[in-house]
Amino acid sequence: MVSVTFEGLPLDIKPGQTVLAACEAAGIFLESSCRSGVCQTCLVQAVEGPVPEIAQAGLSPALATQGYLMSCMCVPAAPMKIIRQGQARQRVEVAVQSIGRLSSSVVRLRLEPLSPFSYRAGQFLGLVAPGGLIRSYSLASLPERDSFLELHIRLIPGGRMSDFIEKQLEIGDRLYVQGPSGTCCYDGISPDQHIVLAGTGTGLAPLWAIAQDALSRDHKAPIRLYHGALNASGLYLVDDLVRLARENPTFTYTHCIRDGDDTTSGDLAEAVTHAGTELTKTDYFLCGDPDLVRRMKRSLFLSGIRLDRIRSDAFVPAAAG
């Protein structure tokens, strides 16, 4: 049995068991959400021992160098000493500024940070409800422009956070947010690079922020945004996106309705792969349904796009319960 301690407490690690599962079995509470190595909610820090490579996949080099790891993905292969994460991410109290509908199933939640909260357009954060319930949501706001944090939240029937937001949350209530996480940001993109933004559902939130961020920085090359949905009811922000395209000649907006019967219908992955851009001069941002994100990445890679030109955040549903 591998010897692992969490803040000095020995953990009983079963073969193939993750650090997160072992902590929970030992009665140690660690915040977690997707349990799939995507949201980075369950970060802890290894102060001794080797970290499995998969437990740091997607982390920034700075975090990886400091020994931070995702406990949901860490199956120890050698002795380790692990502690809770330090100040790698912020935890800030926020006040609910507004709650509104963007569609029949999507809520726009605007939160006022009660102390400074630093982030980059397109990143995501953890929303912490009373009782410690936490879910990850992408930011649709711009840090240089907006005084609030804007989240687009799809209401899931029976979902704990969805029920809380729909039935209990009121303007003026206090919550906490933590983060940010994610690398789907405009940073590092040349103004002469073509940009393709593609997503489904509330995957539009970070793409909306990235597009505006790029335009605010006087991006020169074309920016194409594709939003996919099963049917027309899955679309939102249509008027705002049409207006943005009208006001900015380099920006275009296309929606792909899978079950539609008009000229905008079609498969999102196919539309993105044949976006009509110069392949060697294009950066891609993919957000939303994890299966579709994987399919788009594979299709782009097989079309000759280098993986380092593709940034993605897959929206993995939280574990039940």
Per DSSP, the residues of 146-211 read -SSEEEEEE--TT-HHHHHHHHT--TT-EEEEEEEE---SSTT--TTSEEEEEEEGGGHHHHHHHH
pLDDT higher than 70, residue 260 = no
pLDDT at 299: 85
Same-fold call for 4-84 versus 90-181: no
- pLDDT band with cut points at 50, 70 and 90 for residue 220: very high
Which of 3.90.1150.10, 3.10.20.30, 3.40.50.620, 3.40.50.720 would CATH assign to domain 4-84? 3.10.20.30
As a whole number, the mean pLDDT across the chain is: 88
Residues 6+ apart with CB under 8 A from 46: 67, 68, 69, 80, 81, 82
pLDDT at 68: 87
Model confidence over 90-118: pLDDT tens digits? 689 999 999 999 999 999 999 999 998 88
pLDDT at 321: 43
Least confident of 227-241, 251-265, 285-299: 251-265
pLDDT higher than 60, residue 88 = no
Q: What is the mean pLDDT of residues 215-224?
A: 95
To which CATH superfamily is domain 90-181 assigned? Translation factors (2.40.30.10)
Widest distance between CA atoms in the chain:
63
Domain 194-314: CATH architecture, name and number where available: 3-Layer(aba) Sandwich (3.40)
Residue type, 142: L
Highest mean pLDDT among 36-40, 274-278, 300-304: 300-304
Q: What is the mean pLDDT of residues 112-138?
A: 90
What is the Cα–Cα distance from 262 to 69, expressed in whole angstroms? Answer: 47
pLDDT at 318: 60
Q: What is the mean pLDDT of residues 129-135?
A: 88
Share of residues in the chain with pLDDT > 90 (%): 55
pLDDT higher than 70, residue 262 = no
Q: Where are the domains of the chain?
A: 4-84, 90-181, 194-314
